[in-house]
Amino acid sequence: MTDYSTSMRTDRCGDLRVDDVGRDVTLCGWVDRRREHGEHLAFVDLRDRSGVVQLVVDGAQDLRSEYVLQVSGTVRERPADTANDSLATGAVEIDTAEVTVLSVAEPPPFPLDDRTDVDEVLRLRHRYVDLRRPRLQRNLEVRARVTSAVRGAMEEQGFVEVETPMLIASTPEGARDFVVPSRKEPGSFYALPQSPQIFKQLCMVGGVDRYYQIARCLRDEDLRADRQFEFMQLDAEASFVSQDDVLSFISHAVSAAAEAVTGEGLGEIPRMSWQEAQERFGSDKPDIRFGMELVELTEAFTDTEFRAFQASCVKGIRVPGGADVSRNRLDDLTEQCKRWGAKGLVWMRVTDDGLDSPVAKFLTDDEKAALAMTLEAEVGDLLLLVADERRTVRHVLGLLRLELGRPPVTEGGLHFLWVVDFPLFEGLDEAGNPIPAHHPFTMPHEEDLETLERGDLLDVRSQAYDLVLNGWELGSGSVRIHRGDVQERIFSILGIGSEEAHAKFGFLLDAFRYGAPPHAGFAFGMDRLTAILAGEENIREVIAYPKTQSGADPLTSAPTPIDDRHLDELGLRVLPPVE
């Protein structure tokens, strides 16, 4: 047990129990609530990080919400009829003898209980008050425990923590860089790291054969519930290893984190190929907490007369008991599917009299039977089908599945999944150059090197893998290219010419000339992992000082303009905003 006593207090408010009855204690904290009790007495709940305890005070004292107090008194048992079972300290109260006001406070800008929904900007503007709420205190503790467990697990496995710089040249993670102007070299800029990727690979060349860092990464992307401009990741790299070794290191770290929060470690984390994830869940980050998998129906309609199903791929999902979904909702879902890229959505209700659907009359009895059998349809179900090119079908049905079936983040337990064998390229850009699915340092699958040389780029698998938790992408990694010639070849396939490659990553290619070990690595988001372990849908709830959805910080008002003198020093001029 940690000893929380200091020169100003003997105990923490939330720690007092019946066993403490009779003890004289001194406590410090904030006034949480005050209730008048008769003419001369008042009850004050005193709060600190550990929780609240009830004080009985002289009603004449001026003790208002959020005043900071030091109180001395005796712990006594509450009369049975006033005990509060929902409170850890609910069986006791403090008969206060002395109260010192350490700080007075203005009324708080919003109520601090966890039941009131408060506007987020207001919360963030007064984050120091917001942080006093039990929910945030708990989340910060969960976060600290996760960080410490991950650190411990990496160290136990012989990883050495190495710090890498914040002011660097660009790292290609596919997002926009945040840049910092140089005063010494006006017109030149540093990039803030999107990840320590290149530095950790250089550590491998430098003989640090197991590197890790809990690293701050910055990416200038639109913010979402699971994304902030700056985030923390467990970043790791190791030499003389295979994909299996990396998966094992990282599994160990996330298991330690889960155990630190839930008391229970993880068993073996299952693996699924990217291909299978796409076919069964229409996603590269499948939420495997629930079924409603995508079912292949293409064969059932090879000879169909029904135009809409004369497509290269037909798939469907079964919504158990979904037949009572209203017509309006089905129309909305159809529109939604169109926005996601489908030509439309076919729905069928499974009734006692067969399939009820606007398209039922266009299908043969055999087709209907095959469809019902393949989808294992039962009376009362709703069947949803999309026909199109395969990628579109998977994408749209994958999103529809989430829309209709995804449980809240706190439900269904922790379902980790390794998604392996990602394609090397995820498509072609407008100029016809392939877009790397991971970053350009990813090693192609050995078996697919020939396919690469043949030029069937989109069929080439890579030795890249993702870790998924309850449908959130937690992180990714890969076996790296450690040979300069292969790396140059990949750059050239990506349309990065030799000159550009040398300008951007010359130092990495140079390093590879001096003896690079085979290496592989991984990184996962600490914010995302903590959010799910803390049962939060939004990572902002597990970050002490996050930005709003628009990227602003209402607390410090960042970002702010800088004055002309400062701009001059940096050799910068600000143009008027573009209309």
Residues in contact with ligand ASP by the rule CB under 6 A? 173, 195, 197, 476-478, 521-523
Sign of the torsion angle spanned by Cα atoms 235, 239, 242, 248: negative
Sequence-separated (6 or more) residues with CB below 8 Å from residue 299: none
Cβ–Cβ under 8 Å, residues 29 and 6: no
477 or 546: whose CB is closer to ligand ASP?
477
28 versus 202: smaller Cβ distance to ligand ASP: 202
Encoded tokens for 472 = 């959130």
155: nearest Cα among 213, 240, 215, 195: 213
What is the distance between the alpha carbons of residues 215 and 142, in angstroms, rounded to a whole number? 18
User: Could you give the CA distance from residue 175 to residue 221 in angstroms, rounded to a whole number?
Assistant: 6
Q: Report the residue number, 301 or 522, with the smaller CB distance to ligand ASP.
A: 522
Identify which of residues 51 and 436 has a Cβ nearer to ligand ASP in the complex. Answer: 436
Would you put residue 539 in left (φ > 0), alpha (ψ -120 to 50) or beta?
alpha
Closest contact distance (angstroms) between CB of 476 and ligand ASP is 5
Of residues 29 and 521, the one with the C-beta less far from ligand ASP? 521
CB of 349 to ligand ASP, least distance (A): 43
User: Would residue 245 be called left, alpha or beta, if left means φ above 0 and alpha means ψ between -120 and 50 degrees?
Assistant: alpha
Q: From the CB of 130, what's the least distance to ligand ASP, in Å?
A: 30
Q: How far apart, in whole angstroms, are the C-alpha atoms of residue 1 and residue 501?
A: 56
Cβ proximity to ligand ASP: between 222 and 303 the closer is: 222
How near is the Cβ of 197 to ligand ASP at its closest, in Å?
A: 4
- What's the min distance (Å) between Cβ of 522 and ligand ASP? 5
Nearer to ligand ASP, 434 or 521 (CB): 521
Residue 310 CA to residue 564 CA, distance in Å, equals 64
The CA distance from 309 to 344, in Å, is 11
Q: How far is the CB of 251 from ligand ASP (least distance, A)?
A: 15
Query: What does the alpha-carbon distance between residue 386 and residue 354 come to, in Å, rounded to a whole number?
Result: 20
In the complex, the smallest distance separating the C-beta of residue 49 from ligand ASP, rounded to whole angstroms, is 33
Q: Which amino acid is at 570?
A: L
Please report how close the Cβ of residue 464 comes to ligand ASP at its closest, in angstroms.
Answer: 8
Closer by beta carbon to ligand ASP, 69 or else 250: 250
**Nearest position to ligand ASP, beta carbon:** 195
